[in-house]
Amino acid sequence: MTVQLLAGQLLLGLINGSFYALLSMGLAIIFGLMNVVNFAHGAQYMIGAFTAWFLLTNFGVPYWAALVIAPLIVAALAMIMERLLLRPLSNLDHLYGLLATYAIALIVEGLVRQRYGATGIPYDSPIKGGIHLGFMFLPWYRLWVVVFSIVTCVGTWFLIEKTRLGAYLRAANEMPQIVESFGINVPKMITLTYGFGAGLAALSGVLAAPIYQVSPSMGSNVMIVVFAIVVIGGMGSISGAIITGYLLGIVEGLTKIVYPEGANMVVFVFMAAALMWRPDGMMKSN
The C-alpha atoms of residue 190 and residue 184 are separated, in whole angstroms, by: 11
Nearer to another protein, 58 or 91 (CB): 91
Closest among 35, 201, 207, 21 to 108, alpha carbons compared:
201
**Angle at Cα 147 formed by Cα 145 and Cα 152, nearest 5°?**
90
CA distance 258 to 230: 25
Chain centroid to CA 137 = 26
Per CB under 8 A, does 183 bind another protein? yes
Which one of 12-20, 169-177, 202-210, 260-268 is the stretch in contact with another protein (CB under 8 A)? 169-177
Distance CA 110, CA 103 (A): 11
Q: What is the dihedral of CA 192, 46, 125, 212, to 10 degrees?
A: 130
Q: Which of 92, 147, 167, 269 binds another protein (CB under 8 A)?
A: 167
199/236 with CB nearer another protein: 236
**CA-to-CA distance for 240 and 238, rounded, in angstroms?**
5
Chosen residue from 35, 173, 213, 220 binding another protein by CB under 8 A? 173
Q: Which stretch binds another protein (CB under 8 A): 113-121, 142-150, 164-172, 219-227?
A: 164-172
* 192 burial type by CB count under 10 A (0-12 exposed, 13-18 middle, 19+ buried): middle
Q: 119: which DSSP letter?
A: S
Residue 83 contacts another protein per CB under 8 A:
no
280 binds another protein (CB under 8 A): no
Q: Which of residues 97-156 bind another protein (CB under 8 A)?
A: none
Q: Does 168 bind another protein (CB under 8 A)?
A: yes
90 counts as binding another protein under rule CB under 8 A: no
Q: Which of 106, 126, 180, 251 binds another protein (CB under 8 A)?
A: 180
If one asks whether residue 184 binds another protein (CB under 8 A), the answer comes out as: yes
Q: Tell which phi-psi region holds residue 183, choosing left (phi > 0), alpha (psi between -120 and 50) or beta.
A: left
Give yes or no for residue 92 binding another protein (CB under 8 A).
Answer: no
Nearer to another protein, 159 or 211 (CB): 159
Closer residue to another protein (CB): 57 or 163: 163
- The residues that touch another protein, with contacts defined as CB under 8 A, are 164, 167-168, 170-171, 173-175, 177-186
